[in-house]
Amino acid sequence: MAKKPTKAFITFDNDTAPIELPILSGTAGNDVIDIRTLGKHGIYTYDPGFMSTAACQSEITFIDGEKGLLQYRGYPIEQLAENCNFLEVSYLLMHGELPNAMQLDDFTKTIVTRTMLHDQLSNVFRGFRRDAHPMAVMIGVVGSMSAFYFDSMDVYNPEHRMISAYRLLAKVPTIAAWSYKYNLGHPFMYPKNKFTYAENFMHMMFATPCEDYVPNPVLAKAFEKILILHADHEQNASTSTVRLVGSSGANPFASISAGIASLWGPAHGGANEATLDMLEEIGDVSRIDEFIKRAKDKNDSFRRMGFGHRVYRSMDPRAAIMQKTCYEVLNELGLHNDPMFKLAMQLEKIALEDEYFVSRKLYPNVDFYSGIVMRAMGIPNSMFTAIFALARTAGWIAQWSEMNADPEHKIGRPRQLYTGKDKRDFVPIDKRA
Ligand code: SDX
């Protein structure tokens, strides 16, 4: 195998001297050309959408898009989803190692005893219309946490970072569940410390003060798995948003609120809700061909939601686990003939045989099956992305903490290729056309 290069040279098709740039290697994945000194040569790189740009170094998550691999701190997602609970994985993402029994017990107690919100925070919900989208409410309420928990917001203080991170991990499920209860006009259900993280969320979502709530263990385990699969994913749009907002020194609550806003987009985390809306619009296997045609039509904005990925050029490993979880939940609920699941399976089969999708390496992603599982669990489409945000809060706070702990980190300030008007003089209004 050819020796790996350690330097790159930019040569120009005129007599400008070549520019020498170092090549950096990580633990795994592509090497990078370190272009930090390029600006002083009077030239920038151009990469809208960051198709080929590494924005930071990170030790948290690694994806191999060609092989369809996803690892949190080196552990394959399949092993974590099968053997851990969500708080165990959150600990791993934040601290870099799986917790031992005592560490997990302490961490769980720390989180479980911080799930209540400041009582006045419940008033923030009441400023929204009852039919407000849960993601709009989450953006507002998580952002307003900076008006209630400002005793530990010094981002350069590791202890403050940890306190705020724990508060977010503990309270975002309560905020998400209460966003749903507010839509329904139901009373908020307070968290109960006797429940696990997943059981507590399901309790706050589905319980009422009128009767005791007994969580279904199969659904609770499936929900833990859904949270683990969504916990982190390298420098995706919402994580990059959290890092960019946080790079200015913005407090953790404002940074995570910005991440929730970015996740809401249908090209990103909003795809799980859009996938179910798409399946409901297709309605029946007989209409699949019509929608496949629309997905290929450049003049039609319709896209196969839940398909394609910027990094994965093979099946998203999370989609495979999610499909298996789908079977488990639908069987548990006696819904193995769920028409939406059958439609999704047929849609996946056709896509994996269709040249348009195969040639563009468009496979199901994490959002393709997650909506079907959550819908079967009684969660409305409008809550799917809120649950994605709940899970991704673990990854966002780990990435935000990693950035703030990096002594070399700087405020993010991209440059541009200016294509506007050249310098020109002011024209008085009576001289304008
Ligand atoms: C998530 O980044 C992450 O890691 C995100 C995420 C995470 O965990 O954080 O994994 C979560 O956001 C998953 C992705 C969810 N989004 C969707 O399911 C929405 C549908 N997918 C697409 O919008 C698209 O695939 C993206 C946004 C996911 C990726 O877009 P890219 O990488 O910018 O690719 P592209 O838009 O340039 O598409 C390449 C080609 C184009 O065709 P040509 O111009 O080559 O002819 O593929 C086509 C696109 O038109 N294409 C699709 C398609 N996705 C891409 N055509 C039909 N249906 C689709 N879904």
Please give the full DSSP string across 9-51, using - where no structure is assigned.
EE--SSSPPPEEEEEE--SSS--EE--TTGGGGT-----GGGT
Q: Indicate the residue type of 47.
A: D
Phi, psi of 231 (to 5 degrees): -65, -40
Could you tell me the pLDDT band of residue 95, with boundaries at 50, 70 and 90?
very high
For residue 327, the model assigns a pLDDT of 87
Mean pLDDT of the chain: 94
Q: Whose alpha carbon is nearest atom 27 of ligand 1?
A: 267
User: Catalytic residue among 367, 406, 409, 422, which?
Assistant: 367
Whole-number pLDDT of residue 181: 97
Going from the Cα of 170 to the center of ligand 1, the distance in angstroms, rounded, reads: 32
Token pair listed for 271: 């795809």
Distance linking the first and last C-alpha atoms of the chain = 66
pLDDT tens-place string over residues 308-327:
899 898 889 999 999 899 88
Dist CA 272 CA 260 (whole Å):
14
pLDDT band at 415 (very low <50, low <70, confident <90, very high): very high
Q: Are 223 and 377 in contact (CB under 8 A)?
A: yes
- Protein residue closest via CA to atom 7 of ligand 1: 233
What span, in angstroms and rounded, lies between the C-alpha atoms of 219 and 203?
12
User: How many angstroms does the Cα of residue 366 sit away from the middle of ligand 1?
Assistant: 12
Q: How confident is the model at residue 303 (pLDDT cuts 50, 70, 90)?
A: confident
* pLDDT exceeds cutoff 90 at 345: no
Catalytic residue from among 133, 203, 233, 268? 268
CB within 8 Å of 318: residues ≥ 6 apart = 70, 77, 229, 230, 365, 366
Amino acid at 78: E
The whole-number pLDDT of residue 341 equals: 84
Measured in residues, the chain has a length of: 433
The pLDDT of 296-311, averaged and rounded, is: 87
Whether 268 is catalytic: yes
Instruction: From the candidates 118, 309, 354, 422, give the one annotated as an active-site residue.
Output: 309
The answer to whether the beta carbons of residues 295 and 306 sit under 8 Å apart is: no
SS3 content of the chain, % helix, strand, coil (to 5): 55, 5, 40
pLDDT of residue 93: 98
Q: Mean of the pLDDT values across residues 1-10?
A: 90
Q: Which residue has the tokens 């995706």?
A: 236
Name the residue at shortest CA distance from atom 35 of ligand 1. 310
For 92, other C-beta atoms within 10 Å of its C-beta total 24
Enumerate residues lining ligand 1, CB below 6 A: 233, 236, 267-269, 271, 295, 303-311, 360, 362, 365-367
Task: Dump pLDDT digits (tens) for 227-257.
Answer: 999 999 999 999 999 999 999 999 999 999 9
Looking at the predicted structure, is the pLDDT value of residue 1 above 80? no
28 CA → ligand 1 middle, Å: 24
Q: Please give the Cα distance from 358 to 313 (Å, whole number).
A: 10
Alpha carbon of 309 to ligand 1 centroid (Å): 5
Across the range 379-406, mean pLDDT stands at: 97
Q: 219, 202 in Cβ contact below 8 A?
A: yes
pLDDT digits (tens, 9 = 90+) for 331-343: 999 988 888 888 9
Nearest residue to 368 via CA among 399, 322, 409: 322
Query: Which ligand 1 atom lies nearest to the CA of residue 368?
Result: 18
Q: Which residues pair with 364 in a beta bridge?
A: 307
Query: Per-residue pLDDT tens for 193-210?
Result: 999 999 999 999 999 999
d(CA 84, CA 321): 14
The pLDDT, as a whole number, for residue 340 is 85
Measured CA distances, 155 to 160, 184, 302, 399 (Å): 7, 37, 42, 13
pTM of this structure: 0.94
Strands 7-10 and 61-64 come out as unpaired
Strand order in the sheet with 19-24: 7-10, 19-24, 32-33
Question: What single string gives the DSSP state of each residue in 349-389?
Answer: HHHHH-HHHHHTT--B-HHHHHHHHHHHTT--GGGHHHHHH
pLDDT of residue 413: 96
Tokens (6 digits) for 401: 């903490």
Give CA–CA dist 150/250, Å, rounded: 12
Is 80 exceeded by the pLDDT of residue 185? Answer: yes
Q: Tell me what pLDDT residue 305 has.
A: 86
Residue 428's SS3 state is coil
1 or 367: which carries more pLDDT confidence? 367
Q: Which of 52, 228, 242, 360 to mutate to test the pocket of ligand 1 (most atoms within 8 A of CB)?
A: 360
**Band of pLDDT at residue 99, cut at 50, 70 and 90:** very high
